[in-house]
Amino acid sequence: MLSQQSTKTTPICTSPRRYPSLLALRMPRSLALGAAILALGAAAMTVNSAAATATPVTFKVTESTVDDLKAVYATVRSTDKIHARSRVSGTVASLSVDEGSQVKTGQVIAIIADQKIALRLAAIDAKLVALKSRVETAKADLERTAKLKKRGIVSQARYDTAKTAFDVASNDLKSARADRSVIEKQGEEGKVLSPADGRVLLVPVTKGSVILPGETIATIAANQYVLRLELPERHAKFLAKGDKVIVGARGLKDAKSKTVTEGTIVQVFPELQNGRVIANAMVPSLGTYFVGERTLVWISAGKRNTMIIPAAYTFHRYGLDYVRLNREGKPPLDIVVQLGRAAKLENDAKTKDGVEVLTGLRTGDQLVKP
């Protein structure tokens, strides 16, 4: 009975028309794997044919003229060094700055005290009291003589004598007051003021030092900082006012960010010193540098031809740099190139960043994005 039931149900289960999915269950495993591979290959050929029919966006490689940059070291210098000097003699009573301090124009950086000024002020004050009493006495004598003259008791000569005595006393009082103003001004000149904005480089005195008129209290790096370039004289013909310079990152911490700053040469000295040409470059954000600090700078030493492509057309693989070369009627070819420093594309306003290609490409090559 069991054998009859199985023979009746077998044709129903194995019918490929009614149950096509069950046909795969009876196929060998190797045949099923081969069918899957053929299906994937057909799908890949369809994708490749569709990609081949689409026109890729290409970039044509051309030659560009760029500056031949040379790496040199420049030193941070101040445009002017100004000395804050004492105008009077005395002792340093207070000192409010030290090396590295930032100062503003008119800021009090030190006070020079002179003990003799206080004594001279006390003496002139006592003299003023005496002269005031003398003026009051002469004034009273003049008023009394004027009344007696009106009554005809005293002569005109007596009146003139009293008036002269009053005028002399008044003028002596004015002179004493002027002398006191001079002494007060000398005391005010004991304040040493900063002559300009800048940073204090040197303070050769301390509190309690004895100062004579004209001695330096502080040396200030005034105005703004510049980069002092000292180059071999063979570079003299390439340097000109207005040329651009590129300043590298400052220190190891900033070097990781690969940030650079552009500056401009503002002065080229006409005299060579020890076989070197001297030039000053103005660069923003130099206020945080130390005076005398050295930094890496790239300058132009002529022109040269090179090839610049957008950085988006390059990719990195297995430790090498590649670009994808477009070939008509054939799949693109990945070729190895040697890249240089970052550069700007002159004729492509949309692409901001480019890269220099040293070897691996020729003029006229068509590139596609990877």
DSSP 62-121: -EEEEEEEEEEEEEEEEEEEEEEE-SS-EEEEEE---TT-EE-TT-EEEEEE-HHHHHHH
Tokens of 163: 């008036």
CATH topology of domain 115-189: Helix Hairpins (1.10.287)
Residue type (1 letter), 279: A
> Where does CATH 2.40.420.20 sit in the chain?
58-66+306-368
pLDDT of 84 above 50: yes
Q: What are residue 334's DSSP bridge partners?
A: 324
pLDDT of 58 above 80: yes
- CA-to-CA distance for 354 and 101, rounded, in angstroms? 43
Tokens of 367: 């590139």
What are the φ/ψ torsions at residue 215 (nearest 5 degrees)? -75, 150
Q: For the full predicted model, state whether its pTM sits above 0.75.
A: no
Q: Which helix (H) or strand (E) holds 347?
A: none
Alpha helix (H) residue ranges in the chain = 2-13, 21-26, 29-53, 115-150, 156-188, 251-255
Tokens of 267: 């002065």
Share of the chain above pLDDT 70, in %: 80
> Where does CATH 1.10.287 sit in the chain?
115-189
Q: What are residue 308's DSSP bridge partners?
A: 356
- CA-to-CA distance for 187 and 66, rounded, in angstroms? 63
Q: What is the pLDDT of residues 91-145, one digit of tens each?
A: 898 899 988 888 999 899 998 888 788 788 888 899 999 999 999 999 999 999 9
pLDDT of 161 above 80: yes
Q: Which of 51-55, 338-342, 349-353, 355-359 has the lowest mean pLDDT?
A: 51-55
Q: What is the pLDDT of residues 195-216, one digit of tens each?
A: 888 889 899 999 888 989 889 9
Domain 58-66+306-368 in this protein, CATH class? mainly beta
Q: If DSSP codes are grouped into helix, strand and coil, which group holds residue 352?
A: coil
- CA-to-CA distance for 95 and 98, rounded, in angstroms? 8
